[in-house]
Structure 1
Amino acid sequence: MKFTPRTLKLGMRAWPPFLGAGISVRHIADDWSRAEVTLRVNSLTRNALGTAFGGSLSSMTDPFYVLLLMPQLGEDYYVWDASAEIDFVKRGRGKLTAVMHVPASTVEDIRARAASGDRTLTWFECDITDESGDVVAHVRRQVYVRLQPHARKSNAETAMSVISH
């Protein structure tokens, strides 16, 4: 990925689907391990019941696990969203926040599982909370990762040269 965390944050703030939904990217960590996103529920972003749209709550987390994984894994990997689940716990009102984490230890686990060239599927979880810290929704997202064929070949050649020496 050719973006810095700051550039991505600014670009995502102006991205029409987020802008229209009232979603704002507050922070992306310099090491790509964390992203914080908010949604301010107001007259333009609430549903007929005066609460956040369920789709907007899901959208808050939609691209971020992929976007955090891609630069940590590097360009030799395919990284896609595979599945998502959301449990609505409480009505979403006011300012809502989602914090997504992808620690280095998880990245290394994915890299090890993907080394053979097989696909990996990893679940990530986060809560969307309101200003009181109460959980509004619990989100699970599954991410697909696979080592690209050209990288599998060079990894196999590297492993063979280590064995032969």
Structure 2
Amino acid sequence: MYRFFRPPIVKFALNMWPPFWGAGIRIVRISEDFRQVRIQLKLKWWNKNANRTQYGGSIFSLTDPVYALMLIGILGKEYFIWDKQAEIHYLKPGNTDLFADFLISEDQLGQIMAATACGDKYFPEFVVQVKNTQGEVVSQVKRVLYVRKKPQYRATCEDGDKDTLEGARAIT
């Protein structure tokens, strides 16, 4: 793990990061293993749209770096990890504070590690639901990441090894 990449430091840095701070986004919690994150989007006068509800760009922004940062915290310096693509579905107006709970499961980690062991690119998909204070889903965001093991950490794999890893990926 990177020396300064620990949950309390990441939480503090993100809460001070101008795009989050200015939008009213706050990291509520990051688990010690980086597998769970909870984020809040406060409803403020400056992040309301013309309809006096949460601005859609702020809703989308609260999901932006989260899964990538979680994987960096979990997988460490051995991997390239980037956001690749995203889509959002607005389901109802956000007229209260909003919350998003991000989770990376053991199965997802196993698939990522198996798929990238030989240096292949992998594009895992994560879906997060943004909810209002009543627990109703306001929007759903799908994030696709780019994950690849750095050359110096890749296993030397033959075609047979890749078949074995494919089988392991199918099991997890």
Q: TM-score, normalising length from structure 1?
A: 0.90
Contact 1:18 1:24 survives alignment (8 Å)? yes
Correspondence for 2:156: 156
CA–CA distance in 2 between the matches of 1:92 and 1:21?
A: 14
Q: Which runs of 5+ in 2 are unaligned?
A: 162-172
Correspondence for 1:130: 132
Correspondence for 2:99: 97
Q: Which runs of 5+ in 1 are unaligned?
A: 161-165
Correspondence for 1:6: 8
Q: CA deviation at 1:100?
A: 0.7
Q: List, as ranges, runs of 4+ consecutive aligned residues in structure 1 with deviation greater than 3 Å.
A: none
Q: 1:27 aligns with which of 20, 26, 29?
A: 29
Q: CA deviation at 1:120?
A: 0.2
Q: 2:85 aligns with which of 83, 86, 93?
A: 83
Q: CA deviation at 1:36?
A: 0.6
CA–CA distance in 1 between the matches of 2:72 and 2:44?
A: 33
CA–CA distance in 2 between the matches of 1:55 and 1:43?
A: 15
Amino acid at match of 1:80: W
Aligned-residue Cα RMSD (Å) equals: 1.4
Residue deviations 1:72-94, cap 9 Å, x none?
11211100000001000000111
Q: 2:54 aligns with which of 41, 52, 55?
A: 52
Q: TM-score, normalising length from structure 2?
A: 0.87
